[in-house]
Amino acid sequence: MTITDLEFIQSFIRMANDGFALGWHERNGGNLSYRMTSEDVVVAKPFFKDHHPSVPIGIAIPNLAGEYFLVTGSGKFFRNISIAPEDNICIIEIDGKGENYRIVWGLKNGGTPTSELPSHLLNHGVKKESSHGGLRVIYHAHPTNIIAMTFLLPLDDRTFSRILWTMATECPVVFPDGVGIVPWMVPGGREIGIATAELMEKYNVAIWAHHGMFCAGIDFDTTFGLMHTVEKSAEIYFKVISAGKVRQTITDQNLRDLAKAFHVNLREEFLD
């Protein structure tokens, strides 16, 4: 038995492979983080090593104090994660103030956690609070169609949410809150992290203009499924607009009927 046989690490690896297979992780594109449960920590701890220095996160996230995260490494390729997990991913421990992290396992040939760590941790901070601890996965990918949409449409939450909801019947049920849009910003830092976390107060999906998408979910399946559903909706959008004149679509009444049938609350301000 090695640490990489543990179920949460196997699930993390499977998700990385699936994202790569769908073309969302060119080169080192994208990153993934999972907030470990106390049970995960108990079974993983015997494999931890204690020689890494403490590193500032760059921002304080007090409600993550003492938490452990499994995260992808910066500059690491998703396609290599399953082949050599201990080289490409790591477990970090957050200190008692939520201001510093320390690698306790992984990245065995050197490296640092993803450059998007501030965004991941700020999103985890928001979601831990709003989900009463239930939400554990934050996922960033570079799906082609959703990125392409950000060149064509006005960068506002309502426009994107309405179009994405109406491209397939199940979409409003999968992301009833809609999606938030972050205008183009320099990636990899505190500012884009703060802008994304503000949107995560309202949504489980934040789209970074001309860059990619962040999704939040309770577990690996839900989070991956959310990314997949939004990206598929964007793909249908391109097939439709490039194929000809739209004759009919899902109406606002249809959206309201769906919400009622599936017992979800669609964001009212996005409906006509």
Catalytic residues: 116
Q: How far is the CB of 96 from ligand 13P (least distance, A)?
A: 26
Three-class secondary structure of residue 58 per DSSP: coil
Q: How far is the CB of 250 from ligand 13P (least distance, A)?
A: 32
Q: How far is the CB of 141 from ligand 13P (least distance, A)?
A: 8
Measure the CA–CA gap between 74 and 117, rounded to whole angstroms: 9
Measure the CA–CA gap between 99 and 268, rounded to whole angstroms: 37
> Of these partners, ligand 13P, Zn ion, none, which one is at the site of residue 28 (CB under 5 to 8 Å by kind)?
ligand 13P
> Of these partners, Zn ion, ligand 13P, none, which one is at the site of residue 19 (CB under 5 to 8 Å by kind)?
none
Site for ligand 13P in 161-200 (CB under 6 A): 187-188
> Of these partners, Zn ion, ligand 13P, none, which one is at the site of residue 75 (CB under 5 to 8 Å by kind)?
ligand 13P
Measure the CA–CA gap between 127 and 190, rounded to whole angstroms: 17
Question: In the set 19, 20, 30, 136, which binds ligand 13P (CB under 6 A)?
Answer: 30
Measure the CA–CA gap between 65 and 223, rounded to whole angstroms: 23
**How buried is 269 (Cβ within 10 angstroms: 0-12 exposed, 13-18 middle, 19+ buried)?**
exposed
Nearer to ligand 13P, 130 or 144 (CB): 144
> Is 32 an interacting residue with respect to ligand 13P (CB under 6 A)?
no
Write the DSSP assignment of 198-248 as a string of letters. Answer: HHHTT-SEEEETTTEEEEEESSHHHHHHHHHHHHHHHHHHHHHHHHS----
Q: The tokens 């760590």 sit on which residue?
A: 117
Interface with Zn ion: number of residues (CB under 5 A): 1
Q: Which stretch, 71-79, 100-108, 211-219, 239-247, contacts Zn ion (CB under 5 A)?
A: 211-219
Q: How far is the CB of 204 from ligand 13P (least distance, A)?
A: 19
Interface with ligand 13P: number of residues (CB under 6 A): 13
> Of these partners, Zn ion, ligand 13P, none, which one is at the site of residue 31 (CB under 5 to 8 Å by kind)?
ligand 13P
Nearer to ligand 13P, 31 or 166 (CB): 31
Site for ligand 13P in 75-114 (CB under 6 A): 75, 114
Write the DSSP assignment of 120-163 as a string of letters. Answer: HHHHHHHHHHHTTT---EEEEE--HHHHHHTTTS-S-HHHHHHH
> Of these partners, ligand 13P, Zn ion, none, which one is at the site of residue 161 (CB under 5 to 8 Å by kind)?
none
> Of these partners, ligand 13P, Zn ion, none, which one is at the site of residue 106 (CB under 5 to 8 Å by kind)?
none
Please list the residues that pair with 30 across neighbouring strands. none
Site for ligand 13P in 110-149 (CB under 6 A): 114-116, 140
Q: How far is the CB of 113 from Zn ion (least distance, A)?
A: 14
DSSP-assigned letter for residue 113:
B
Measure the CA–CA gap between 25 and 79, rounded to whole angstroms: 8
Integer CA distances (angstroms), 123 to 183, 209, 218, 243, in order: 17, 18, 13, 38
CA angle, 102 as apex, 55 and 185 as ends, to 5°? Answer: 55
Binding-site ranges for Zn ion (CB under 5 A) = 212
Footprint of ligand 13P (CB under 6 A): 28-31, 72, 74-75, 114-116, 140, 187-188
